[in-house]
């Protein structure tokens, strides 16, 4: 049906225009957040007692006076979108007062376990964003390669292997996510770890998740398995041991395996290979063997628009490294193809879920 065949009122047409503009300008919110983070605006407001006027903020972060009107416009975007809140001033000049929200507090918390700054920085890094400018040509390209490799000439993981600072930023991002999420997992569904004497965190990076589990369950022997270039930079805190290895080749035996945000990086065929190695490493179901997966199940979780949108946004986002976020029927297929007998999904993690997988 052509636009001329659709009999809409003027208001319908104008709303349709607004919807298109709103969609097209969605990137402005991301860039405004990135700018605020790089200017250290959340931290500056927090360290100033949690409230600042535009003039105070501009002076504190070292902006030229000519940039003050632009700063107000930046902050207006961030307040309208809910990143910051704005209060009316009681002073004579009536300047607005910017304050933190629960959302912004996740970027400035002095508690390491609540600070998501590193993972947001990685998600908004130019190396991750640039590949999407070539998405259309990537779709038309008959050669199978990732968006990231098409843009940069090497894969995301190859760049991490060759660039120490980039590798460190990835590890910091994963640790920040683990520190945040594991506190909630242990509080909301810690019983999934009961009765486990030994656990291996597969592709567990610097051990953020494993360390949290070990502290919550001191009797459990927790080990992290990851690639050599990751393990060599890992900290030693005494709670967790580290093993260098490749999950596609061999996973050491343990009562249970833990994989947080691992399977979304890989296609179905590779996921089945990893899962078969997992199955080889754990005892039978009646002996307590299981795989604990923390990942996204698209369509699960709170039935809210923001949750559903975030899930499908992230699914398209993770395509930059050929990753995928799966619906339950897609999870079921790879589980059964790998020879597992059953699973249980626990939806208590917002856009993500905990999956207990049984051999």
* Catalytic residue IDs: 264
H/E stretch holding 71 = helix 68-80
Compute the distance between CA of residue 254 and CA of residue 244 in angstroms, rounded to an integer. Answer: 16
Could you tell me if residue 322 is left (phi over 0), alpha (psi between -120 and 50 degrees) or otherwise beta?
Answer: left
| Distance in angstroms between the alpha carbons of the first and the last residue of the chain | 52
Radius of gyration for the chain, computed over Cα atoms and rounded to the nearest angstrom: 23
Give CA–CA dist 26/77, Å, rounded.
Answer: 11
Q: Please list, residue by residue across 98-108, b when 16 or more beta carbons sit within 10 angstroms of its beta carbon and e when fewer do.
A: bbbeebbebbb
Q: 144: Cβ–Cβ under 8 A, 6 or more apart, which residues?
A: none
What's the CA gap between 107 and 110, in Å, rounded? 9
Stated as kind and residue range, the H or E segment containing 165 is: helix 164-189
């Amino acid at each position: 049906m052509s636009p001329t065949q659709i009999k809409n009122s003027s208001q319908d047409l104008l709303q349709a225009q607004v919807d298109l503009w709103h969609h097209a300008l969605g990137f402005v919110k991301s860039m405004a957040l990135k700018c605020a983070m790089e200017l250290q605006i959340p931290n500056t407001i927090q360290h100033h007692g949690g409230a600042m006027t535009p003039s105070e903020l501009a002076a504190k972060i070292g902006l030229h006076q000519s940039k003050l009107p632009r700063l107000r416009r930046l902050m207006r975007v961030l307040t309208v979108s809910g990143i910051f809140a704005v209060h009316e001033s009681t002073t004579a000049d009536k300047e607005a007062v910017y304050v933190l929200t629960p959302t912004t507090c996740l970027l400035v918390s002095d508690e390491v376990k609540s600070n998501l700054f590193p993972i947001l920085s990685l998600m908004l890094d130019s190396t991750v964003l640039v590949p999407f400018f070539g998405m259309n040509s990537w779709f038309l390209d008959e050669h199978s390669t990732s968006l990231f490799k098409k843009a940069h000439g090497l894969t995301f993981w190859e760049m991490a292997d060759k660039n120490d600072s980039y590798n460190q930023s990835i590890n910091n991002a994963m640790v920040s996510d683990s520190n945040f999420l594991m506190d909630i997992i242990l509080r909301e569904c810690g019983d999934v770890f009961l009765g486990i004497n030994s656990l291996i965190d597969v592709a567990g990076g610097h051990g953020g998740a494993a360390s949290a589990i070990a502290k919550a369950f001191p009797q459990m022997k927790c080990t992290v398995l990851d690639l050599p270039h990751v393990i060599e930079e890992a900290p030693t805190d005494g709670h967790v041991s580290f093993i260098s290895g490749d999950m596609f080749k061999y996973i050491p035996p343990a009562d249970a395996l833990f994989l947080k945000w691992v399977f979304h990086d890989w296609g179905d065929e590779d996921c089945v290979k990893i899962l078969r190695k997992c199955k080889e490493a754990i005892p039978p179901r009646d002996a307590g063997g299981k795989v604990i997966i923390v990942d996204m199940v698209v369509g699960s979780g709170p039935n809210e628009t923001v949750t559903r949108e975030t899930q499908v946004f992230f699914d398209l986002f993770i395509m930059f490294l050929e990753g995928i976020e799966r619906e339950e029927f897609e999870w079921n297929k790879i589980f059964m193809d790998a020879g597992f007998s059953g699973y249980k999904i626990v939806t208590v993690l917002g856009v993500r879920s905990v999956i207990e997988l049984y051999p």
